[in-house]
Amino acid sequence: MSEVRVFAPGSVSNIGCGYDVFGMALEGPGDVVTARLVEDGGEGVFSVSVSGDGGRVPTDPARNCAAVAAQAVLDRVGAGRGGRVGVALDVRKGLPLAAGLGGSAASAAAGAVAADALLGGGLDQTTLLECVVAGERQGSGASHIDNAAPALAGGFVLVPPGKPLRIVRLPTPVDFVAAVVRPHLEVETAKARALLGEAIALSAGIRQWGNTAGLVAGLYQEDWELLGRCIDDAVAEPVRARLVPGLEEAKRRALAAGAVGAGLSGSGPSVFAICRGRSAAREAARAIADAFRSEAGVDADVIVSPPSPTGARVLGTSASTRAATAGTGGSVGG
Amino acid sequence: MSEVRVFAPGSVSNIGCGYDVFGMALEGPGDVVTARLVEDGGEGVFSVSVSGDGGRVPTDPARNCAAVAAQAVLDRVGAGRGGRVGVALDVRKGLPLAAGLGGSAASAAAGAVAADALLGGGLDQTTLLECVVAGERQGSGASHIDNAAPALAGGFVLVPPGKPLRIVRLPTPVDFVAAVVRPHLEVETAKARALLGEAIALSAGIRQWGNTAGLVAGLYQEDWELLGRCIDDAVAEPVRARLVPGLEEAKRRALAAGAVGAGLSGSGPSVFAICRGRSAAREAARAIADAFRSEAGVDADVIVSPPSPTGARVLGTSASTRAATAGTGGSVGG
């Protein structure tokens, strides 16, 4: 094939306690990356076009998430050097920027999977995840494996420490549904991370690792009391809350509307609430959006979604006349 | 009844990553507390005798773990004030002191359960756990719920943050066996805790809460790769290691002998290794004991045990002639 179109979903990271370790893929909006083999057009990922971003996403291949991730794939399959393979990317942003919905990770995951499919690389998940992380680092100044992993693999996932990288898919109760509300505010991830500093209180750490353990146990046991108790961030949210006017009221109203737990999605400003069933999630979403309207004077968009079982996926392929793939090396599909 | 004899097991806390949140009850040695109703002898828990401790455990009821825990039970069932109930305790220490095997928690758990059985209190697990924690605090200068919970309830347990206190029993693979080796060294828990300070690096925290989440997932999924990866302490062991000569070599040899993971039991000096099956655990125990002999020049005792399914339990009751319980109030058994 000479052209591949790949979708990757948005995601909620942290889920309360799991800073840098938990993430959940969402149904609904996502980014779409089309990768095209171009003969004699350039070397590696040489061209990027972006739409749906209001002109804010860089099109320089060295600074674009999808392109860096795709180039990492090219490097690993041994293509794209010496002028043998040129790849052009088209990135269509379906996810908002700086929203805390894993937009950079989605672009990177779509870019990596598109490049892998285009080149017939057949890279394993661990290698693809390394490529996604490399790309995502471009977008937000740090690697957020808690968005990269669900964007790539789907589901509710844990990324445990240690090498090689692993994605551990966790089960969720059948009525586990997230309400995700994005107020029309922006928070720069890098700024939100900088607020955290390098050290935390031991007591906060103990709460956090008790909570992550309890959240996993709650998922396996479908123990909603435990889930609610453990969806609680002792580390990141307390210092980030002041970047998101209306957050406390939004959480309060979500819980009052019956949500099991609520918090910032990633570094915000989006807010998630975990609920039992879609109808409860719709209630919570409405309550959160109302809070942002009354407390911060802003409108908000709403997603109601269980963990999306699929992550980055090929939407379509074609053999474009613009790409002549003969002679591009053994690892490249025709 | 007028006399109750209760056993409570030793335990391994932390299990690598779960400082203050994970604990596992052991088969084998434990402490035994006999509680006796004594008419006109005194008020509340007024007398304590201790054996098996080399004279080192305080017999002052206000400073003895078992007595403080038992008194907490008396307080909660509304007995033991106003001279209505007098209780004498006999504590037989089967667990070594300052070993990192939850000896204070075992005494406290046995004391609490003995008092509850003696008085017919029928306290629920949460209330009993509060009493055990109150007692255990006497023994080590801090409350170690990660020993108190398994000593009381048995099994491999998680104590999640939040109120009310809860003990979450986690499943373990059928061949999940601990090798626990106590070198003939002592570490004061309070001193080991003081080394930790009040703050930790954020990066260490992230490792720790990824590990606790992964360890729980590994237990549910019987995923030994995940268990081995996550039995790793980023927070406490690095600073405590210097209190235990030979630790690094002991861990190295345990892993070389096939252990899945290894680390300090609680604040040490005991070392645990998690193994697949009893025979592997015996190998690991031997390797650890050898390391302490060659590196620190000390002998060591060995326990090989899966999680003990039972925690504190009544061994026997009797109606002693020394105790006339009539008129001690409605909540007191005859």
A255 touches chain B (CB under 8 A): no
According to DSSP, the residues that pair with B273 across neighbouring strands are B179, B262
Q: Are residues A161 and A183 in the same domain?
A: no
Query: CATH number of the domain that B54 lies in?
Result: 3.30.230.10
Q: Do A21 and B197 touch (CB under 8 A)?
A: no
pLDDT score at A306: 98
Residues B156 and B200 in one domain: no
A149-to-A153, A155, A227, B136 alpha-carbon distances in Å: 6, 9, 21, 42
Quick check: is A160 in a domain?
A: yes
Average pLDDT over residues B76-105: 86
If one counts the domains in chain A, the total is 2
Which residues from A are below 8 Å from B236, CB to CB? none
- Determine if the peptide bond prior to A307 is cis (ω within 30°): no
Query: Are B220 and B178 within one domain?
Result: yes
Write down which residue in B169, B200, B231 finishes a domain: B169
**Cβ of B213 under 8 Å from any chain A Cβ?**
yes
Q: Give the pLDDT confidence score for residue A12 in this predicted structure.
A: 98
Tell whether B184 and B203 lie within a shared domain. Answer: yes
For the ranges A87-101, B30-44, B187-201, the maximum mean pLDDT occurs at A87-101
Of the pLDDT bands very low, low, confident and very high (cuts 50, 70, 90), residue B85 is: confident
Half-sphere exposure of A163 (CA within 13 A, CB side): 2
Q: What average pLDDT does range B204-212 have in this prediction?
A: 98
Q: Do the Cβ atoms of B211 and A160 come within 8 Å? A: yes
Q: Domain ends where: A107, A138, A169?
A: A169
Q: Is B158 on the interface with A (CB under 8 A)?
A: yes
- CB atoms A206 and B166 under 8 Å: no
Query: For the complex shown, is ipTM > 0.90?
Result: yes
pLDDT band per the 50, 70, 90 thresholds, residue B321:
very low
Domain that holds residue A276: 171-305
Q: Supply the pLDDT for residue B131.
A: 97
Per-residue pLDDT of chain A (334 residues; tens, 9 = 90+): 799 999 999 999 999 999 999 999 999 999 999 999 998 778 899 999 999 999 999 999 999 999 999 999 999 997 755 557 899 999 999 999 989 999 999 999 999 999 999 998 899 999 999 999 999 888 666 778 999 999 999 999 999 999 999 999 999 999 999 999 999 987 777 777 788 889 999 999 999 999 999 999 999 999 999 999 999 999 999 999 989 999 999 999 999 999 999 999 998 999 999 999 999 999 999 999 999 999 999 999 999 999 999 999 999 999 854 443 333 333 323 2
Whether B325 is covered by a domain: the verdict is no
Residues A261 and A297 in one domain: yes
Please say if the pLDDT value at position B185 is more than 90. no
Which phi and psi (to 5°) does residue A264 adopt? -70, 140
A26 in a structural domain: yes
Beta strands in B67-136 (DSSP E): 86-92
How confident is the model over B239-297, as pLDDT tens digits?
A: 999 899 999 999 999 999 999 999 999 989 999 999 999 999 999 999 999 999 999 99
**A13 and A135 share one domain:** yes
The average confidence (pLDDT) of chain B is 91
Peptide bond just before B309 cis, omega within 30 deg? no
Average pLDDT score over residue span B94-105: 93
Fill in the amino acid letter for B282: R
**In a shared domain, residues B175 and B286:** yes
For chain B, the maximum distance between any two Cα atoms, rounded to a whole number of angstroms, is 63
B253 and B165 in a single domain? The answer is no
Indicate the residue among A136, A169, A202 that finishes a domain: A169
Choose among A161, A207, A216: nearest Cβ to B161.
A207
In CATH, what number is assigned to the domain containing residue B199?
A: 3.30.70.890
DSSP H or E segment with residue B255: helix B247-256
| Contact flag A211-B161 (C-beta cutoff 8 Å) | yes
Identify all chain B residues contacting A209, using CB atoms and an 8 Å cutoff.
Answer: 17-19, 21, 205, 208-209, 211-213
Amino acid (1-letter code) at residue B209: W
Q: Tell me: do B175 and B164 sit in the same domain.
A: no
pLDDT at B322 over 60: no
Residue A4: closest CA among A108, A125, A113: A113
- pTM for the whole structure: 0.93
Residue A36 lies in a domain: yes
Residues A254 and A158 in one domain: no
Measured between CB atoms, does B229 come within 8 Å of chain A? yes
* Angle, vertex CA A173, rays to CA A169 and CA A176, nearest 5: 95
Contact flag B162-A196 (C-beta cutoff 8 Å): no
Peptide bond between residue A269 and the one before it cis (omega within 30 degrees of 0):
yes
Residue B328 confidence (pLDDT) above 60 = no
Domain contains A85: yes
Task: Tell me the C-alpha distance between B331 and B34, whole Å.
Answer: 19
Q: With bands split at pLDDT 50, 70 and 90, how would you rate the model's confidence at B144?
A: confident
B161 to A201: CB separation less than 8 angstroms, yes or no: no
- Given a cut of 70, whether residue B80 has pLDDT beyond it is no
Positive or negative, the Cα torsion across B66, B68, B70, B73? negative
Indicate whether B330 belongs to any domain: no
The pLDDT of residue A82 is 53
Q: Which range has the worst mean pLDDT, A164-178, B152-166, B190-204?
A: B190-204
Let me know whether A81 and A175 are in one domain: no
Task: Please indicate, yes or no, if residue A322 is contained in any of the structural domains.
Answer: no
d(CA B54, CA B93): 10
Element (H, E) at B26: strand B18-37
CB pairs under 8 A between A and B: 152
What b-and-e string marks burial along A264-278, b requiring 16 or more CB atoms within 10 Å of the CB?
bbbbbbbbbbbbbee
A75: in domain: yes
Using the Cβ of B152 and the Cβ atoms of chain A, whether some distance falls under 8 Å is answered with no
Q: Considering CB atoms only, which of B196, B216, B234 is closest to A213?
A: B216
Q: Kindly tell me if the per-residue pLDDT of B327 is higher than 90.
A: no
On whether both A100 and A219 belong to a single domain, the answer is no
- SS3 of residue A3 by DSSP: strand
